[in-house]
Every structure is written in structure tokens, then in C-alpha cells.
Amino acid sequence: MRLILLGGPGAGKGTQAKILTEKEGIPQISTGDMLRSAIKAQTEMGLAAKKFMDAGQLVPDEVVIGLIRDRLGEDDAKGGFILDGFPRTTAQADALGELLEKLEMPLDAAVSIEVDDEELVSRLTGRLTCANCGAMYHKVNNPPKLAGVCDKCGSNELIVRDDDKEETIRKRLATYHDQTSPLIDYYDGKGLLKRISGIGTIDEIQQRLREAVGA
């Protein structure tokens, strides 16, 4: 299965991709996670990207296209993948199309997870991320079983992402509406678009996602 997950910041792309990855045994490829790893490793690229991310803006296309080109060339992507947070501009979508054509790995679907803006803001202002394994929680909607401790790996470093301040969240939303939401029509035009509501429990949305892609 070769999928793209589209959706605004906080729509649940990461949450759903992680579940699908475990069930289907195909990698989640998140440009946001890759950029955050580069920041953690303090690479030159990471430090340059951080300025855009903290401002709620997109990192330049050539940077993320380069990351994806390398990542899709790795062996584990041969059996399928879930792209989470890429593509985010028409230029990225065009570059992905060319790359997948060369690799002879056509997309199966682009799923748009649809959630209204106010719900997105409330999800992101409550999000906690495990600094060790990347697992995601929500202070109210999806708390860890034991307060402050990751269910998955036991780490007690549950942090608020640097870009999850309300002001930055609003900027990320504006960036999404401006630059990324046109991809909904883009993939509709290619006959690949599936729309699902992203409101409901995490399990319900996973069920909708599986039905939408015939998994």
C-alpha cells in the first residue's frame, strides 16, 4: 500500500499513520519527524529548518524533496509506505509524482483527514509528544495511562512541541489553507482522493481510513 495522508496540523496524520504502520508493516514517512530529528542532531539543515518551523512556515521545497528522495530509495519503502506531512505544496506533489514514476511505485490513494480549525487548535494546544519514541498523547483526549510516563517506552520525557504554541498553531493553519489544501483538488483530479472525517475516536478514524483504502 502506498498512501499519502493529507490534513491540517493536528488532524491526526501521525496518530493514524503509526497505527497503520504497526498493522500493515510498512513505514510511516513523516517529513516533520525527519526535520525534528535533524534539529535534535543539530545538523546544518536541521538548524536552518527550525527557523521556518518555529515561524509556522514551510521549509523550502528542495530540502524536503531531497529528504523524501533519499528515504523512498531505502529498502523498506519497496513494500509500501505512508507519507505523513508530505507533499505540502504543488511543487512537492509534482516532484513526488516524477519520483514514483521513475521508481515504478504508483500511489494507491491520498486520504484527506478532515477536521475543523477550532478542533485542530484544541488538539494541538493539548498535545504531548514522547521525546524518546515519538508517541503522541493529548492532555485531555488521549492521556498516557500513568501521568507523565510514555505508555510505549516508559520514558518520562513527555514534551510540548516547540511549534505547539497557540500563535504558531494559527500560523501553521494559515499555511495549511494557503499552500497545502490545494492538494485536495490536485489528487481529486488524479482520481486518487479519499475524504474521511477526522472527528471521532482514534479507533473510529482508523476504521474509516482502512475502509477508504481497502485495507
Please say if 210 is a catalytic residue: no
Backbone angles phi, psi at 165, to 5 degrees: -90, 145
Is 32 near ligand AP5 (CB under 6 A)?
A: yes
Is 88 a catalytic site residue?
A: yes
Residue 69's alpha-carbon distances to 28, 66, 81, 88, 205, in angstroms, are 15, 5, 13, 15, 29
Which residues have C-beta within 8 Å of that of residue 50, sequence separation ≥ 6? Answer: 35, 39, 162
Which one, 26 or 58, has the nearer CB to ligand AP5?
A: 58
Query: Residues 181, 183, 185, 191: is their CA dihedral positive or negative?
Result: negative
d(CA 86, CA 195): 17
Specify the stretch interacting with Mg ion by CB under 5 A; choose among 11-19, 110-118, 137-145, 189-197. 11-19
13 given a catalytic annotation: yes
Catalytic residue among 36, 172, 194, 208: 172
Partnered with residue 142 across adjacent β-strands are 138
Quote the least distance from Cβ 12 to Mg ion, whole Å: 8
Site for Zn ion in 129-158 (CB under 5 A): 130, 132-133, 135, 150, 152-153, 155
Considering beta carbons, is residue 146 or 174 the nearer one to Mg ion? 174
Closest C-alpha to 128, from 111, 106, 144, 145: 144
- Tell me whether residue 78 is one of the annotated catalytic residues: no
Quick check: 131 binds ligand AP5 (CB under 6 A)?
no
Q: Where are the beta strands (DSSP E) in 65-210?
A: 81-84, 109-114, 127-130, 136-138, 158-159, 193-197
172 is a catalytic site residue = yes
Q: Report if residue 81 touches ligand AP5, rule: CB under 6 A.
A: no
Cα distance between residue 197 and residue 215, in whole Å: 17
Site mask for ligand AP5 (CB under 6 A), range 58-77, x = bound: xx----x-------------
31 touching ligand AP5, by CB under 6 A: yes
Residue in 158, 156, 157, 127 with CA at minimum distance from that of residue 141: 127
Number of residues that bind ligand AP5 (CB under 6 A): 36
| Strands 2-6 and 109-114, bridge-based pairing | parallel
What are the catalytic residues? 13, 88, 127, 161, 172
Give the residues lining the site for ligand AP5 (CB under 6 A). 7, 9-15, 31-32, 35, 52-53, 57-59, 64, 85-86, 88, 92, 123-124, 126-127, 136-138, 141-142, 163, 172, 200-202, 205
Give the residues lining the site for Mg ion (CB under 5 A). 14
Give the residues lining the site for Zn ion (CB under 5 A). 130, 132-133, 135, 150, 152-153, 155
